[in-house]
Copies of this chain bind each other. A is one copy, B any other.
Amino acid sequence: MSVESTIIAMAKAAKAASGKMATCPSEKKNKALIRIADKIEEASSHIQEENNKDLELATADGLSDAMIDRLTVKDATIKSMGDGLREVAGLHDPVGAVIKSWTRPNGLEISRMRIPLGVVGIIYESRPNVTVDAAGLCLKAGNAVVLRGGSEAHHSNQALASVVSRALKETGLPENAAQVVPVRDREAVNILLKQEAHIDLIIPRGGEGLIRFVVENSKIPVLKHYKGVCHVYVDESADLKMAEDICFNAKVQRPGVCNAMETMLVHASLADKFLPSMGKRFKDANVEIRGCQKTCTILTDASAATQEDWPAEYLGLVLAVKVVDNMDQAVSHISEYSSDHTEAIVTSDYSRARRFVKEVGSSVVLVNASTRFNDGGELGLGAEIGISTSRLHAFGPMGVDELTTTKFVVFGDGQVRV
């Protein structure tokens, strides 16, 4: 079969499976998720053998250590896949939930009921655990899913796919409810992105290059975020100890992720008091500071920030720092450079807290808390399938609810329109 006919056949099979998934009872879906977890644990050594093939090729191809690290499946990876699936099995089932209902003057009873999206396509890079995590969430929400992992994880993903499809079969779910594209060729992605008749949503996960490629080529709606340029604004009225703890956590606790702080904005009136001790703490943690002029006069170790620093997502121990004269400047800096991902204010002032919440339009806006809380688990959504900075459908972390839409259900007793 050609790549094209393989992909089209998969997309059609997924659509057919999604019809069955949509009315599948919670119990059956949960049983399948737990069965997948069990079988992955049972097949652990086989999966790791297949993963070794990928790792050998990756080493031969000279992939970076970071990429090889992401690609590696260890006992702990298997355990976390199993734990993740059991956690998803334990989440509420969004399908069938009525989120709102009302009655019309003519007696019609109207409600909006959650239903699955249909077929979700996930396009991702090296981490094989995405295969299992994403499939689990999509199935929980009653969707069928087509997964296309990176070609460097080909053997690992195929091994996982066969475990998943056996578990689906054994528990009476449609086998094609979760499929992994078996084609390594990038052409497969292009063809997948054209199956708008069969696929309802694409979620790309990976680097900015992959995501731009998907957005550029997709005929299917895409939920995505390119990057997280997250800001913390330390207001004039901030509790300095709290500000220091929040900024330190936001930058240092896990600097390589999208919800880490990249730029710290400090009100001029407390710069002299706040920056020296904050700067020392960052220095001790090996954080390199790139500051505005004012910052550099206070922190003499800091290097001068250039125009490239304000929109930068460092994903590492580098921080841009700017002293602002007032809150207006902070808000307009954010509105100019924000990636719509996550912004926080540290303040003890009631009206400035309100103003920040109102005027900052990012997907997660925090008052007196670390940007690192922009995460489905931390915000209480349960597991997440990703974070969206698309201002549509789901803005922010996406959990099982965000893998559904709603239909209108209308109960009448013979009403006709006049």
A positions within 8 Å CB-CB of B: 19, 22-23, 96, 102, 104, 108, 110, 113, 115, 117-118, 196, 200-201, 215-216, 219, 221-222, 239, 242, 245-246, 248-250, 253, 335, 353, 357-359, 361-370, 372-374, 378-380, 390-397, 405-417
Q: Is the CB of A407 within 8 A of B253?
A: no
The answer to whether A215 touches B219 (Cβ under 8 A) is yes
Cβ B372 vs Cβ A417 within 8 A: yes
Most buried by B among A357, A367, A417: A417
A416-B362 CB under 8 A given contacts A104-B379, A104-B380, A391-B117: no
Evaluate contact between A408 and B221: CB separation under 8 angstroms. Answer: no
Residues of B close to A417: CB separation below 8 A: 249, 253, 370, 372-373, 378
A415 to B249, CA, bound (A): 9
Given A110-B379, A396-B407, A408-B379 in contact, is the A416-B358 Cβ separation under 8 Å? Answer: no
Q: Name 18 A/B residue pairs within 8 A (Cβ), A-sorted.
A: A108-B379, A200-B390, A201-B392, A221-B390, A221-B392, A239-B414, A246-B416, A250-B416, A353-B411, A363-B408, A365-B407, A370-B416, A379-B410, A392-B393, A393-B393, A393-B405, A395-B405, A397-B408
How many copies altogether? Answer: 2
Interface contact B395-A108, CB-CB below 8 Å: no
CB of A405 within 8 A of CB of B379, answer no
Cross-chain contact B392 with A405 (CB below 8 angstroms): yes
Known pairs A104-B380, A115-B395, A201-B391. 19 more at Cβ < 8 A?
A102-B380, A110-B379, A117-B391, A118-B391, A200-B392, A242-B413, A245-B416, A253-B417, A363-B407, A365-B409, A365-B410, A366-B412, A367-B411, A369-B412, A370-B415, A372-B417, A392-B392, A392-B393, A396-B407
Among B363, B368, B409, B411, which residue has its beta carbon within 8 angstroms of that of A412? B368
Establish whether residues B22 and A361, one from each chain, have CB atoms under 8 Å apart when the complex forms: yes
Looking across the interface, which residue of chain B has its beta carbon closest to that of A217? B219
Minimum distance in angstroms from A56 CB to a CB of chain B: 36
Measured CB to CB, the closest approach of chain B to A35, in angstroms, equals 25
Within the complex, which residue of B19, B249, B394, B410 is in contact with A367, where a contact is CB–CB below 8 Å? B410
Q: Roughly how many angstroms separate A357 CA and B367 CA in the complex, as a whole number?
A: 43
Residues of B within 8 A of A367 (CB): 410-412
Q: Report the separation of the CA atoms of residues A368 and B106 in the bound assembly, to the nearest whole angstrom.
A: 13
Decide: B406 and A395 in contact? CB cutoff 8 A.
yes
A41 CB, min distance to chain B CBs, angstroms: 28
A361: chain B residues within 8 A (beta carbon):
19, 22, 115, 407
